[in-house]
Amino acid sequence: MVIVSTKKNSDEVLIKQELLTLLHNKFGIASIKINVSGKGFLSESTIPLNPREMVYFIHLLEDRFSIMLTEANFDDPDIYTINGLVHIIEEHIKQSATT
């Protein structure tokens, strides 16, 4: 079961749900409760992805959302939280919609 605790806009909820569904379907992570405080999901082992899995997860995200994450995204500590990753994806989607 995937639990999303948020009261944000519907796009954010949909992106968050897609991230959690990918983590469940591709990595067998059955239940995640998003920590809205923004604590890191990789560094604290809430979601245990090894480096190879992280690369694959990023590839899946880029493919699913038709985006290309940049070096600056990987330098941003927000990429290590679900909420931060959702924000980064939202920004890329907005950028591609305007170009």
State if pTM tops 0.85: no
pLDDT digit of tens for each residue in the chain (99 aa)? Answer: 444 444 457 889 899 889 889 988 999 887 655 444 455 554 443 456 888 998 999 999 999 999 999 999 999 988 877 888 899 999 999 998 887
Task: Find the Cα–Cα–Cα–Cα dihedral 75, 2, 29, 68, rounded to 10°.
Answer: -30
The pLDDT, as a whole number, for residue 78 is 81
Q: Which domains are present in the chain?
A: 10-98 (1.10.1200)
Distances (CA, A) of 83 to 31, 36, 55, 70, 77: 16, 7, 19, 18, 11
